[in-house]
Chains A and B, each alone.
Chain A
Amino acid sequence: MRHHAFHPALLPLRAELYFAGACCSLATNSTDLIASVARWSAPDGSRGPAIELHVIADTAARRHVDAPMHFRGLNHLVFALISPGEFFVFDLLRRRVSGVVSPETARDAEFWSTRMVPLILGIMGVTVGIVPLHCACLDPDGEGLLLAGKSLAGKSTLAVALSKRGFALISDGWTYLARDERGELVARGISAPVKLLPDAVNHFPELRGYRSARAFNGEIAIEVDASLALNATMLCESRPRRLVLLERSQSARSRLERLSADAVREFFLASVDLMPPPLDGFAVSRAALITQLSQIECWKMRHGGSPQEAAEMIRSLYEWSLSNHVRRCAIS
């Protein structure tokens, strides 16, 4: 059995990272890893409680590209086994992630950006006041629009269709919700690739030539950089002001109706990860953030037509809602 002891003297290299509102202090023995995460370097002035990330690059460890990652958790701990000899342990109570990786993994910048950063946010986010929500976020003109819905509701194709109508794209699959220092909601993304089902090519011809592959969650999907493949404008964050909950419908006609705050709250509380008893405090603060989110303007959209038709309807809704808001402000 191979043993590793984590000690500050063994991890002399440091980097301060920042992603989707989370500060992260990295300690490692690998210059390759420091280079791999350089794009996530914290800007000056970023502050907040930091997640500690301690990573040993072990020259004896080997990467097995085909080995499926294995995740399990109990109480305050979560294990992620990458391949034999490579693993991470997430300790939610101590806000610390410890891991051992091979030199190949340490120098794989794509692994850190597309796997580890989402994993750290997904598992540890609640420990620093960030709630990962399974929804897309767009920003047409400085105000955020969240697209929620169950799997296969069409969030991603609709997000792309809206991005082609001038809405900036914050996030596609996961949006990270938090409060700023004034207590206002802020929704952030990490410029992750947009993940679309293979039939999306029928709606977006520019996707021809991109191949489907098995995504991290096991789905077969086309994953593309939206700014390159779809010419989308990308933003890092927005203030969520409106939310549309999508539902698939058999009818080709789309319908929009107002949605109550209770329904929105219920939807999100029923879709977030189970939180075991030692983490009750995080579950309470997560629920409070979701309650705050449910107070924004919310709509339900049933649609069965093309994403372009749904996008057109949302754009009309957005313009109508915005003009109403301006009228109300003028009257008051």
Chain B
Amino acid sequence: MSAVAPYRNPLDVLWRGVPTPFRAEVQLARRCVAVETNDPVLLAQFPVGIVNTENAVQTRESDFLWRIVRDEEALGALDPGVAFAEGPLTFVAMGSSLTVAVDHERNELIAFVGGVISPAEFAATALPLFEKLTLGGRGSLNLAARHEAGHIVASEDADYKNA
């Protein structure tokens, strides 16, 4: 379990106003990503050399924003997950403990990371997913659903089978 205090606001059951005061900048290939989170432990999981927490408040022009929220109330284990893409939006849910959406039009990634996800699991599972979703652009999950005999047939992505 992380040490982040649960967010409580009776007018905000969806957590839309959760503060994310801890900031960093991350260099991913040619992208400069501004990261905001409510859990500083998650920032410590970024590989050394790509992250800058010293002058994290926009020292240069960031072209992508990650908002990562530690969600102490999401307690389920990671499951194999489900993903969808529609237009500029890609969404991935691996149970309630890891939900991620990327809006490629707005250059934003938002994610909720459950309280049961250890820092090591975050580094091994969530970070590579965020990176792939960000750098891959639209269609980064190689979505290939087909329509057969009146049913949707969803594809499997081998890259994530072990996630």
Chain A positions near chain B (C-beta within 8 angstroms): 1-7, 9-10, 29, 54, 56-61, 70-79, 81, 84-85, 87, 89, 91, 94, 96, 98, 100, 270-276
Contact = CB atoms under 8 A, between A and B. Distances in A.
Nearest to B142: A3
Contacts of A6: 84-87
A4 B155 CA distance: 7
A7 B84 CA distance: 11
Interface of B: 9, 11-18, 67, 69, 71, 74, 79-87, 89, 91-96, 99, 101, 103, 108, 110, 112, 141-145, 147, 150-152, 154-157, 160-161, 163
A274 B12 CA distance: 6
Nearest to A275: B16
22 contacts: A1-B163, A3-B141, A3-B143, A5-B144, A29-B147, A56-B84, A72-B14, A72-B15, A72-B69, A73-B15, A74-B16, A74-B18, A74-B67, A74-B69, A78-B14, A78-B16, A98-B89, A273-B11, A273-B12, A274-B9, A274-B11, A274-B17
A79 B156 contact: no
A271 B130 CA distance: 35
Given A10-B147, A91-B89, A4 B82 contact: yes
B152 A4 contact: yes
A77 B86 contact: no
Contact of B110 (A75, A87, A270): A75
Given A10-B152, A74-B15, A3 B110 contact: no
B16 A85 contact: no
A70 B85 contact: no
A1 B84 contact: no
Given A75-B110, A98-B84, A84 B155 contact: no
A286 to B, nearest CB: 13
Contacts, number: 147
Most buried by B among A54, A98, A271: A98
Contacts of A74: 15-16, 18, 67, 69, 110, 112
Nearest to A217: B13
A84 B17 CA distance: 26
A81 B74 CA distance: 11
B13 A71 contact: yes
Nearest to A89: B91
B79 A84 contact: yes
A1 B71 contact: no
Contacts of A10: 145, 147, 152
Contacts of A96: 86
A98 B83 contact: no
A-B pairs with the 4 shortest C-beta distances?
Answer: A6-B86, A73-B14, A5-B143, A1-B160
Nearest to A69: B96
A280 B146 CA distance: 38
Contacts of B156: 1-3
Nearest to B163: A1
A96 B85 CA distance: 13
Nearest to A60: B154
B99 A1 contact: no
Given A71-B14, A84-B95, A29 B83 contact: no
Contacts of A59: 151-152
Q: Which of B86, B99, B108 has the most CB of A within 10 A?
A: B86
